[in-house]
Structure 1
Amino acid sequence: MDLKLSGKTVLITGASMGIGEHLAETFAQEGVDLHLTARSAEKLAALKQRIEEKFDVTVALHPIDLSEPGAAETLSEAVGPVDILVNNAGAIPSGSLWDVDEAAWRKGWDLKVFGYINLCRLFYAKMKQAGGGVILNNIGNGGEVFDPKYIAGTSGNASLMAFTRALGGHSLDDNIRVMGINPGPVNTDRIYNMLKKRAASDLGDESRYTELEKSYPLSRPAHKHEISDLIVFLASFRSGYTSGTIFTVDGGISSRRSII
């Protein structure tokens, strides 16, 4: 299937690892030129080298901490106009209301919640001036599964879901599509760190995290390509009538509910 993305330009935040790293390679495979940002200049440089060895695309790096005041504006000026924005940076800490203090809660929200909002504000205006574009917010199914042991994250993700729907509901009036993706557990370092933390608290032994993993659909987290392939498709013209909605990819976890 030809997605007709070759020659387009994408900005991916949180691109140095996990879903963001894999997403950069997936867009590059489609011939999309890349602007990549994350805090680690070293990891970004290694990713740039790997991509340029395999694909004929340009890769511009922007090492920056998006939780810092004014970082979004600095990044926007450095990047210039893009066709696609993928908000992916941020990992809100897990834990109960008493585990996550105010400082940790605010730090997580500054990077992910306000980081997404600030970049949408800046790049939406650029896209409107240019005649259109696509914004994709990688959020997470915590916004649908109200877990008290992930209370800062579930609250933040739910807020971003509402934000994405509100912005994307009318954005096609400006020829801009805004969508959200809610992955469940994905086979990245982050999910295994969270599983080990939960195994330590619930089972008394972090090495028993594999027992928790077996409770997932298919007894595994999602593969990274099962998330990145959807995001790239949604960014393409083949999804041109899609906006103001959220796509959940969690193997049905958020639908496992019962009245008793």
Structure 2
Amino acid sequence: MDLGLGGRTALVTGASAGIGAEIARVLAAEGCALHLAARNKQRLDELAQQLRDAHGVRVLTHPVDLRSAEDIDALLEDIGAPDILVNNAGDIPAGNLASIDARTWRHAWDLKVFGYIDLSRLVYARMKEQGRGVIVNVIGSAGERPDAEYIAGSTGNAALMAFTRALGSKSWRDGIRVVGINPGPVATDRIVTLIETNPRFADMAADFPFGRPAHTREIADMAAFLASDRSGYTTGTVVTIDGGLSLV
């Protein structure tokens, strides 16, 4: 399907693997020029070359740590004002209140929670100047279905859901849409490893809807649709893709 994204520019964070890399693949196939940001330069460069070869689009890579205000400032100096921002970077660890100490909690939130907020703040201002833009926040269904054994992630995701809904409720006045996606279990390397090595996750996997986690492509296709004008009346909304787990 042609989503009408050809010629637009997108910044995708956490783009070196998993959901972020798949979103980059889908946007490239739709004709977007891409800025790919993550810490792993080698993976970014390999993906960028694949996308250039496959789709003939412009792809630039940016090895940055989005916990760093200086890195965020430098990133935006390089790219200017993208038409689409996909906030996807994050690595909040599993654990309960006793096992996640203050330093670990803050380190995790500096990337996923404050990283999303800080980058959105700066990109939003640039989008406002040009009178258009879309911010897509890839969050996670633990914000809807809190888990005491994933307490930092559940709490952070709930905060980002509120952030998306609050910002998106008024962003249309500036010509900007802000939307979110809450993936449930997705077949990324991280989830597959957890299922193989963690008995708790293995037990959970036995009850996955349709007998499997989501494919990364299923999340990426939704991100591209939400970023497109075909979803032009959607803002302040968080779409859940978890096979119905959050309804149980």
TM beyond 0.5: yes
C-alpha separation in 2, matches of 1:23 and 1:167: 23
The answer as to 2:45 corresponding to 1:45 is yes
- Give me the whole-angstrom Cα distance separating, in 2, the residues matched to 1:68 and 1:130: 26
Q: Aligned partner of 2:231: which letter?
A: S
* Residues 48 and 59, structure 2, Cα contact 8 Å, conserved in 1: yes
Aligned twin of 2:13: 13
Give the structure 2 partner of residue 205 of structure 1: none
Matches of 2:198 and 2:95, distance apart in 1: 9
Match of 1:247 in 2: 239
Residue ranges of structure 2 left out of the alignment (5+ in a row): none
Q: Percent identity?
A: 53
Which residue of the partner structure matches residue 216 of structure 1?
208
Q: Distance in 2 between matches of 1:147 and 1:96?
A: 9
Q: Does 1:230 align with 2:222?
A: yes
Deviation at 1:210, TM superposition (A): 4.4
CA shift, 1:239, in A, is: 0.5
Give the structure-2-normalised TM-score: 0.97
In the alignment, what sits opposite 2:59? Answer: 59
Distance 2:168 2:154 in 1: 21
Say if 2:64 and 2:72, in contact at 8 Å, map to a contact too: no
The number of residues matched between the two structures is: 248
Counterpart of 2:230, as a letter, is R
Separation in structure 2 between the aligned mates of residue 212 and residue 243 of structure 1, nearest angstrom: 32
Structure 1 position 214, deviation (Å): 1.9
Distance 1:229 1:190, change over 3 A: same
Alpha-carbon distance in structure 2 between the residues aligned to 1:99 and 1:38: 27
Cα RMSD over matched residues?
Answer: 1.2
SS of residue matched to 2:60? strand
Moved over 4 A (4+): none
- How far residue 30 of structure 1 moved from its aligned partner, in angstroms, is 0.3
Could you list the per-position Cα deviations for residues 162-186 of structure 1 after superposition, in whole angstroms to 9, with x for gaps in the alignment?
Answer: 0110000000001100001000000
Q: 1:157 to 1:197 in 2, by over 3 A?
A: farther
Paired with 2:16 and 2:142, the residues of 1 have a C-alpha distance of 22
Native 8 Å contact 2:52 2:59 kept in 1: yes
Shift of 1:195: 3.0
Q: CA contact under 8 A between 1:12 and 1:86: conserved in structure 2?
A: yes
> How far does residue 197 in structure 1 lie from its aligned partner after superposition?
5.4
**Post-superposition offset of 1:75:** 1.3
Displacement of 1:71 in angstroms is 2.2
Decide whether the 8 Å contact of 2:19 with 2:188 is kept in 1: yes
Deviation of residue 99 (structure 1)? Answer: 1.5
Counterpart residue number, 2:135: 135
SS of 1:23's equivalent in the other structure is helix
- C-alpha displacement of 1:63: 0.3
Aligned to 1:160: 160
Residue type matched to 2:175 in 1? N
- Tell me if the contact between 2:194 and 2:202 (Cα under 8 Å) persists in the aligned partners: no
2:116 aligns with 116
Which amino acid is the alignment partner of residue 99 of structure 2? D
The 2-side partners of 1:212 and 1:118 are apart by 34
Report the residue type matching 1:150 in the other structure.
Answer: Y
Q: Aligned partners of 1:74 and 1:162: how far apart in 2?
A: 28
Q: Does structure 1 retain, via aligned residues, the 8 Å contact 2:93–2:153?
A: yes
Q: Secondary structure at the match of 1:190?
A: helix
Question: C-alpha distance in 2, partners of 1:122/1:211?
Answer: 42
Q: For the Cα contact (< 8 Å) 2:35–2:60, is it kept in 1?
A: yes
Contact 1:94 1:194 in 2 (8 A): no
> Aligned with 1:44: secondary structure?
helix
User: What are the ranges of 5 or more consecutive residues in structure 1 without an aligned counterpart?
Assistant: 203-208
* Greater Rg over alpha carbons, structure: 1
Deviation of 1:229 after TM superposition, in Å, equals 0.3
Q: CA deviation at 1:194?
A: 3.2
2: CA distance, partners of 1:97 / 1:63: 32
Shift of 1:3: 1.0
Q: 1:193 to 1:102 in 2, by over 3 A?
A: farther
For 2:179, the equivalent position in structure 1 comes to 179
Q: Deviations over 1:69-90 (max 9, x none)?
A: 4222221111111100000001
